[in-house]
A and B are shown apart, each in its own frame.
Chain A
């Protein structure tokens, strides 16, 4: 809960139900590429294997709380998109922990979770973003009250299934490097 990061997502649609996003630590030309996120519609999330679901997080809270927004887009257009995002699940990995001062992407990836309830987001981080972008999370929250989350409710296995999840590196013995490398063509 202690480490929280502002993240700028640049998203493209693979189709109506799947987005893939590059995540940067700012929106300027010098921004560092810190991670990736994939976002899927609810039916696709439900089709994931059960041991995969905990790696994905819900977006309902982040959208409805106002903290997730699309800089520069008029409210009506933004809301059209966010109505969809509200029902999706995301999977996010960060590779570069700039928030702790890493000058390069050290170590292994971090599995990122989303905010899921009030009281998690640090006050000063919220105020800083609101100030810079001229938005008010509180006002947005009121406007977004009508939005609905996943049709089937937030799946109990999402968001780490209620537990923390972290990644660990493991050394593996390799089979002898044969003269027949495989490629799935």
Chain B
């Protein structure tokens, strides 16, 4: 039930017509509460997201299924970033998952079983699939030079692209764009929207250093012909799941 690679059961919120998500328009009271919270509360963790990266991701259980992904990245230190991932850059964008990015040095020290869940970034960056919207290429290149040698782990929690009007099922593991995979229409649409040319970016990044070789445990599907899906299973009540106490 609810596995990340399973189509959801038919329901008003799965694959039907209507806005994603469904729901009533915000009331005036709601907006006033939000304004109040905006003024009175600090949002330090969220304000650390300083960069917007636009790229494409593949579903780990079906690499032929691709999405445009907008990462809002915050740097924890020189070697680790954490990103909130959305399906667009508009105020109504849906939060579709989270990606963590680590340096090559950190990735190499991870246990093999963990490495299989991560993907490389070299191809996505050097091919021009990944771009920082609005940032001149000459500046982007500086930042992306460092990112080209990183590895990422991306969990997608809302499969908007298949018509889920609410987040359904278990999280899906995502993978990065690799050679020959990019769906041309999808890239063209993105390029037109941001007035960039992936081809021109690729040309500009030709000399960009990349890892001498991509670690064989990363991009697992590519080398092993196998992907990963996530299932929900019922457990023995003696070992129940973790509970979260919230401060909201």
Contact = CB atoms under 8 A, between A and B. Distances in A.
Nearest to B107: A104
Interface in B220-248: 221, 225-237, 239-248
B27 A72 contact: no
B64 interface: yes
Contacts of A151: none
Contacts of B241: 110-113, 160, 164-166
Contacts of A69: 247-248
B230 A170 contact: yes
B114 A174 contact: no
B142 interface: no
Interface string A70-95: 11111001001100010000011111
B1 interface: yes
Contacts of A32: 76, 82
A53 to B, nearest CB: 10
A15 B23 contact: yes
Interface of A: 1, 3-11, 13-18, 20, 22-24, 26-33, 35-36, 38, 40-41, 44, 47-52, 54-55, 62, 67-74, 77, 80-81, 85, 91-97, 99, 104-115, 120-121, 125-126, 129, 133, 160, 163-175, 177-185
Interface of B: 1-3, 5, 8-14, 19, 21-27, 29-30, 33-34, 36-37, 40-48, 58, 61-67, 74, 76, 80, 82-84, 92, 94-95, 97-98, 100, 102, 106, 110, 114, 117, 153, 155, 157-158, 161-163, 166-171, 180-183, 185-186, 189, 221, 225-237, 239-248
